């Protein structure tokens, strides 16, 4: 069974651009990874952490680049992490930004991972690790995280700043290239860690960003099965894989086990799928999208089927609902 931990698609950085620039096929990498290519344009979407790891691993193989993870996070930077990145960059000192980062990490950006900041004997050790039992792509994910961490540090300390040490667990392929990208020496350690003088935690933010946009919702934890299933249904809408068998397979479950786990929580797959479709339908109708386009985007073969479903959900036709929405 897959580890049911979610992450935002924004964590992959400018993956498609880097693949194409290196002569690879981004669409093929997404297809092999069984993820919709539309995620490139929807960085706030949630995907399984195991799928993110597999995606980066497949991309590295596609273009033969062991340093790809370092390249992605360095090129994207902390600001590319959407509302989470904006939130971290809004704090007045480096120490407060890091503290907010690791306290909010699991709820706003990525589950099944842990960040810690330990200050001892004048040194700060900021570390990252995956808490889920995931093997494939684990080290690349750690390199990815280190790139974002270094970028945040340099947002406060300057682009030429160098840490005392950058530590990575296990044997590292492409070390020399990663060191060039990180602009610092990389050594072996128990956890992915950046070590730097503790007094730098008081460094002021040279370009504080005020009033960041708050993320629309927190990430469901590993035990929030219904919330995770809802996000997999949203993901399925992007590539037409909305059937119960496709969603169950994405979660690493058989159809029967999937249904049984939903029933234990007093909900059916049909209820979840209808709820997701209704929420998206309201957003799209309110935004003025054509009804034919909405029907296709929600997996209906024609507007008539969508209109009947919408009336069953709300008691009103999409056209009448839009008219009332616009008048309000």
249: CATH: 1.10.10.60
Show which of 135, 170, 202 is a domain's final residue.
Answer: 202
Q: pLDDT for 278-307, tens place per residue?
A: 999 999 998 999 999 999 999 898 899 999
- Do 74 and 173 lie in a common domain? yes
3-state secondary structure 43-94: CCCEEEHHHHHHHHHHHHHHHCCCCHHHHHHHHHCHHHHHHHHHHHCCCCEH
Q: Are residues 197 and 97 in the same domain?
A: yes
> Of 144, 168, 202, which residue is a domain's last?
202
Q: What is the mean pLDDT of residues 310-318?
A: 93
Shared-domain flag, residues 78 and 193: yes
Q: Is residue 11 part of a domain?
A: no
Structure confidence at residue 301 (pLDDT): 87
**Is there a single domain that holds both residue 169 and residue 277?**
no
Average the pLDDT over 255-272 and give the result.
97
Which two tokens mark 96?
């407060």
The reported pTM is 0.92
Q: Is residue 19, in this structure, part of any structural domain at all?
A: no
Residues 107 and 147 in one domain: yes
pLDDT at 1: 47
Domain assignment present for 312? yes
In whole numbers, what is the pLDDT of the chain averaged over residues?
92
Does residue 237 share a domain with residue 316? yes
Number of domains in the chain: 2
| 35 compared with 86, residue with greater pLDDT | 35
For residue 130, being part of any structural domain is answered with yes
Based on the fold, state whether residues 87 and 189 are members of the same structural domain: yes
**166 and 230 housed in the same domain:** no
pLDDT at position 177, please? 97
**Shared domain check, 162 and 94:** yes
Query: Residue 210's pLDDT is what?
Result: 60
For residue 156, tell me if it sits in a domain.
yes
In 3D space, the residue among 32, 33, 29, 73 whose CA is nearest the CA of residue 50 turns out to be 33
pLDDT-derived band at 24, boundaries 50, 70, 90: very high
| C-beta separation of 152 from 101 below 8 A | yes
pLDDT at 224: 93
Residues 71 and 197 in one domain: yes
pLDDT for residue 211:
59
Query: Quick check: 3 pLDDT over 90?
Result: no
Query: Are residues 236 and 193 both part of a single domain?
Result: no
Parent domain of 114: 65-202
| 252 — pLDDT class (breaks 50, 70, 90) | very high
> Mind listing the pLDDT tens digit for each residue in 42-56?
999 999 999 999 999
Mean pLDDT throughout 180-201?
A: 97
Which one, of 274, 214, 235, lies nearest residue 6 by Cα?
A: 235
pLDDT digits (tens, 9 = 90+) for 157-175: 999 999 999 999 999 999 9
Q: What is the average per-residue pLDDT within 241-253?
A: 92
Give yes or no: residues 196 and 107 share one domain: yes
d(CA 130, CA 140): 11
296 inside domain = yes
Summarize pLDDT for 77-123 with one digit per residue, the tens. 999 998 899 889 999 999 999 999 888 888 899 999 999 999 999 99
């Amino acid at each position: 069974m897959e580890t049911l931990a979610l992450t935002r698609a924004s964590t992959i950085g400018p993956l498609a651009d880097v693949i194409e620039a290196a002569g690879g096929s981004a669409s093929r990498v997404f297809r092999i990874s069984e993820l919709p290519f539309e995620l490139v344009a929807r960085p706030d979407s949630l995907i399984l952490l195991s799928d993110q790891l597999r995606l980066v691993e497949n991309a590295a193989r596609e273009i033969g680049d062991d340093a790809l993870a370092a390249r992605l996070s360095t090129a994207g930077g902390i600001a590319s992490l959407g509302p989470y990145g904006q939130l971290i960059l809004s704090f007045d000192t480096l120490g407060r930004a890091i503290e907010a980062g690791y306290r909010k990490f699991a709820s706003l950006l990525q589950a099944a991972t842990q960040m810690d900041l330990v200050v001892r004997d004048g040194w700060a050790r900021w570390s990252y690790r995956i808490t889920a039992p995931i093997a494939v792509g684990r080290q690349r994910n750690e390199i990815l995280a280190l790139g974002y961490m270094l970028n945040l540090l340099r947002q406060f300390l300057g682009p030429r700043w160098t840490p005392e040490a950058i530590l990575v667990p296990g044997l590292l392929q492409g070390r020399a290239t990663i060191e060039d990208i990180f602009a610092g020496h990389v050594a072996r350690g128990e956890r992915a860690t950046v070590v730097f003088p503790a007094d730098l935690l008081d460094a002021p933010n040279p370009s504080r960003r005020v009033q960041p946009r708050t993320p629309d919702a927190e990430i469901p934890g590993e035990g929030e099965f219904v919330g995770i299933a809802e996000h997999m249904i949203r993901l399925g809408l992007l590539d037409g894989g909305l059937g119960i068998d496709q969603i169950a397979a994405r979660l690493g479950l058989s159809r029967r086990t999937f249904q049984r786990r939903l029933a234990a929580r007093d909900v059916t797959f049909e209820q979840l799928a209808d709820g997701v479709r209704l929420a998206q339908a309201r957003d799209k109708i309110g935004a003025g999208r054509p009804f034919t386009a909405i029907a296709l985007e929600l997996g209906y073969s024609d507007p008539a089927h969508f209109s009947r479903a919408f009336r069953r959900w709300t008691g009103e036709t999409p056209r009448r609902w839009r008219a009332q929405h616009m008048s309000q």
